[in-house]
Structure 1
Amino acid sequence: MNGQAAATRYESLDAIRGVAVMGILAMNIVAFALPMSAYFNPAAGGAPGTSDLATWAFNFVFVDSKMRGLFSVLFGASTLLVIQSAEASGRSAVGTHYARMFWLGLFGLAHYYLFWFGDILSLYAACGLLLFLFRGLSIRALLIWAGAFLFVSLLFLGSTWLSIAMLDTGGLPPETAAAMGQQMAEFNAMMGPNSPTYAADVAHFLGSYREIAGTRMGPDAAEPLVQVMLFLWESMALMLIGMALFKSRMLTGEWSPERYTKWATVCFAIAAPVLAWMAWHSAQTGFATMTVFGTGLVFSTPFDILMTVGWAALIMLLIQTRASAAVRARLAATGRMAFTNYLVTTIVMTTIFYGYGLGLFGSVGRAGLYLFCFGMWAAMLFWSKPWLARFHYGPLEWLWRSLSRFSLQPMRKGAAVQ
């Protein structure tokens, strides 16, 4: 592959990344607008209304974890593409990769401490430290390693769920149960119905910037590290699947429509009924802490990943067979600016919902939150393409690339890209 070929962009990969960066907002919007306990449990603030319950159920089955999963799959694919492009152009692949991960980690930490607790960039940078080691593996080997990482994730979170279940049912020795009492109280506040901290959390996020950011920089300063410890395993599994799907040419739009249709159908047919049953079961138990933890973080995980792959196949099918050239171009531009769009979304949403902005935190129901998603999606689609008609990169993509290359990169169209 020569340098020119290495620089070739895959429109389909950019387009599906555009869908993913919009989709992750549909997942994150609850965390932007409501206490974190509501993100896990629709009954955290009290019995949910019909529209809120229906919106939660739809998200649980089709959106939550799946859009983050798709974002992670595409991060793995894009990482491999960058490594291959660096090798093809004669640059140091290891230097290029680790410089990108170093700066991505710093961007992520700045995102967390300055703007929002839900950052995933620092987690992705941590995964990136390992991803380089898997770049030369075959599709089969990548999937085996993905299975191994997924097994560790399930073992880790599953053992925590088992401890909660045993405590909840009185199955632990008295001395062990007493020691876990405080931890169980924290789980109930974070994931249980009628969270005792719900009102306090609403009041906190209606406070000043200094108060909100002060919590992230003070008591919650170690949270990025905690997230890495908890979710590196599942994220690595998804990213390795992304590498495998890129090598199989699925994410470059080179499969036949029939093959995309088959994969989407099989994945949805297996995953959707199981996830729908889990949603029903959670509601039947009154969204008990043990059930919410188990269905949300443990037992749903394999089916979430399966549906993530199904979404990838379905989106690629629609891009290939249904989307017009204009739609593909809009989505691809949005995907090429995914880094900028992701961070700008945080700034816009926290300004809308937090106390130092419009102060809407805790006052909009789940169904109504989709209106904010629609508005932000329209903004992404509207501004990304005109920007890239004039410039080589999105603003933050340019900054990331310049820092990683240790030199200012050409920005305006007409200047040669390095």
Structure 2
Amino acid sequence: MEDITGVTPVQPGERIGELDILRGIALFGILMVNMSFFKYPVFFERYPSNFPAGTEQFWAYLIQIFFTGKFYALFSFLFGLGFYIFMKRATGRGASAGSLYKRRLTALLFFGLAHLVVFWSGDILFTYALGGFLLLGFYRLPAEALKKWIAGFIIIAIGINSLFALFQGLGETLAGAVYETVTALLVEEALVVYTEGSFFELIKYRVVNEVPYVFIGLAASIPAVFTYFLAGLYAGKLEIFTNLAEQRPLLKKILARALPAGFLMMILYVLVEREIVSGGALFRPIWLWILNYGASIFLFSSYTALVLIALQNGAGRKLLSPLAATGRMALSNYLAQTLICVFLFNGYGAGLYGRVSLSHGVLLTIGIYCLQVLWSNIWLKYFRYGPLEWLWRTITYGKNQPIRIVE
């Protein structure tokens, strides 16, 4: 067993504050999208146009255009960048970085599996852990080689997800009314189970009806998310975040090119989704997935550039700095979002499942996130890490980590 004596987690003073702020922002965007899934079997609605016309449809399009996939991409990019920082730092201190990171990923795998089975099938931690093991094989590649792998995984992700979308298109076009009837029955079943089921009945329902599809979907989700992991590793290799002041011209160039490209793809998404532009009924799901995936790549890049430019301004830094604490406690806050929402919506809690509109869901998202910003800043006045960050570090380094801040 490797000697990791003297190897410790990153201390608060060693952290890159801009990355914590970006993580904090990503958590808000992720909750905005996840809120719809927490409160209703929205998976069966599939497209914004399926929502009732008016306010509901307006919010459905707003979330789809600005949020869906974009903040998941940002969070995934930061995971890849965090991997590079972890490996570089551990190697520099003479530790077996690979072994440490495998231990870290194993803990994350169990966190994710517990989250997935016990609380919510929309978990991302399990997928991240599996992708993280794959990422270990890319650490020593030079930046130029990583660029080719990023392009390759974009192609793989499009290919596999297009195949999944094709099956969806076949169901929608060939089954017709039968497909719609089955979907309606599944929605009705989910509404009954989630509003009336006990804690253990919901676990049983999740294991039987949801978890198998999550595992099948890993074949599509891992290549898509791995693209962002590699992009984060690539950014780390280029040391972009070492001196951000010098990167301002690059950030402006990214913003100027990526923002219009991303919004152009989302305009095309809306045109295809509303069938103003026809991609063919069978291939419509494929075009929609490709357009949203492409837009997510461009828009997360432009969001990142915009935030980093804003942080070089005194007013921007003052406005965004409180979000750093939320990002420092990203794991605790991500899982706290689930705990809050399942107890709000599930039958063993407040039982609001299926009763909250999208607009009210947006207000709930803002309220929950503001509370998380507040409690994160208060917590980190007294503790070095969030509660789950402390547990994760303790498992990773094989010894109890001091958590209290000693005056």
Report the counterpart of residue 26 of structure 1 in structure 2: 32
The alignment status of 1:35 with 2:41, answered yes or no, reads yes
Counterpart amino acid of residue 140 in structure 1 = E
CA distance in 1, matches of 2:317, 2:305: 19
Report the counterpart of residue 205 of structure 2 in structure 1: 215
The question of whether the paired residues in 2 share the 8 Å contact of 1:333 and 1:384 is answered with yes
Q: CA deviation at 1:153?
A: 1.3
CA distance in 1, matches of 2:391, 2:172: 50
The question of whether the paired residues in 1 share the 8 Å contact of 2:191 and 2:353 is answered with yes
CA distance in 1, matches of 2:394, 2:180: 43
Unaligned segments of structure 1, at least 5 residues:
171-180
- Post-superposition Cα deviations, 1:55-100, rounded to whole Å, max 9, x if no partner, equal 1212222110011111111111111111111111222101111000
The question of whether the paired residues in 2 share the 8 Å contact of 1:188 and 1:289 is answered with no
- Post-superposition Cα deviations, 1:333-391, rounded to whole Å, max 9, x if no partner, equal 11110000000010001111111111111112212211111111111210112211211
CA distance in 1, matches of 2:277, 2:349: 34
Report the counterpart of residue 100 of structure 1 in structure 2: 104
Inter-CA distance 186–76: structure 2 relative to 1 (3 Å threshold): farther
CA distance in 1, matches of 2:40, 2:304: 29
1:215-234 maps to which residues of 2 (within 5 A)?
Answer: 215-234=205-224
1:143-154 maps to which residues of 2 (within 5 A)?
Answer: 143-154=147-158
Residue range with higher mean Cα deviation, 334-343 or 316-325? 316-325
Q: CA deviation at 1:25?
A: 0.5
- Post-superposition Cα deviations, 1:280-311, rounded to whole Å, max 9, x if no partner, equal 32123799985663244334312221222111
Alignment RMSD (CA, Å): 2.9
Report the counterpart of residue 192 of structure 2 in structure 1: 203
CA distance in 2, matches of 1:187, 1:94: 49
The question of whether the paired residues in 1 share the 8 Å contact of 2:272 and 2:284 is answered with no
CA distance in 1, matches of 2:115, 2:273: 33
* Equivalent residue for 2:133, pick from 119, 129, 146: 129
- Post-superposition Cα deviations, 1:297-335, rounded to whole Å, max 9, x if no partner, equal 334312221222111111212222265554443111111
% same residue: 26
Counterpart amino acid of residue 68 in structure 1 = Y
The alignment status of 1:318 with 2:310, answered yes or no, reads yes
Q: CA deviation at 1:40?
A: 2.5
Counterpart amino acid of residue 385 in structure 1 = N
Report the counterpart of residue 3 of structure 2 in structure 1: none
The question of whether the paired residues in 1 share the 8 Å contact of 2:266 and 2:292 is answered with yes
The question of whether the paired residues in 2 share the 8 Å contact of 1:123 and 1:224 is answered with no
Inter-CA distance 224–281: structure 2 relative to 1 (3 Å threshold): closer
CA distance in 2, matches of 1:346, 1:11: 25
The residue matched to 1:359 in structure 2 has which SS? coil
* Equivalent residue for 1:293, pick from 285, 288, 298: 285
* Equivalent residue for 2:69, pick from 65, 68, 84: 65
The alignment status of 1:238 with 2:228, answered yes or no, reads yes
Unaligned segments of structure 2, at least 5 residues:
1-5
Inter-CA distance 101–212: structure 2 relative to 1 (3 Å threshold): same
Inter-CA distance 267–374: structure 2 relative to 1 (3 Å threshold): same
Report the counterpart of residue 177 of structure 1 in structure 2: none
The question of whether the paired residues in 1 share the 8 Å contact of 2:117 and 2:203 is answered with yes
CA distance in 1, matches of 2:160, 2:49: 26
The question of whether the paired residues in 1 share the 8 Å contact of 2:116 and 2:211 is answered with no
1:41-190 maps to which residues of 2 (within 5 A)?
Answer: 41-44=47-50, 47-162=51-166, 165=169
Inter-CA distance 414–14: structure 2 relative to 1 (3 Å threshold): same
Q: Aligned pair count?
A: 397
Counterpart amino acid of residue 62 in structure 1 = F
CA distance in 2, matches of 1:220, 1:295: 25
Report the counterpart of residue 265 of structure 2 in structure 1: 274
Residue range with higher mean Cα deviation, 161-170 or 386-395? 161-170
CA distance in 1, matches of 2:401, 2:173: 60
CA distance in 2, matches of 1:5, 1:344: 22
The question of whether the paired residues in 1 share the 8 Å contact of 2:108 and 2:126 is answered with yes
Q: CA deviation at 1:278?
A: 1.2
- Post-superposition Cα deviations, 1:96-130, rounded to whole Å, max 9, x if no partner, equal 11000000000000101111110000000000111
Report the counterpart of residue 367 of structure 1 in structure 2: 359
The alignment status of 1:262 with 2:256, answered yes or no, reads no
The question of whether the paired residues in 2 share the 8 Å contact of 1:123 and 1:227 is answered with no
Give the TM-score of the pair, scaled to structure 1: 0.86
Counterpart amino acid of residue 108 in structure 1 = G
Counterpart amino acid of residue 202 in structure 1 = L
Report the counterpart of residue 307 of structure 1 in structure 2: 299
Counterpart amino acid of residue 398 in structure 1 = W
CA distance in 2, matches of 1:209, 1:132: 37
Inter-CA distance 53–168: structure 2 relative to 1 (3 Å threshold): closer
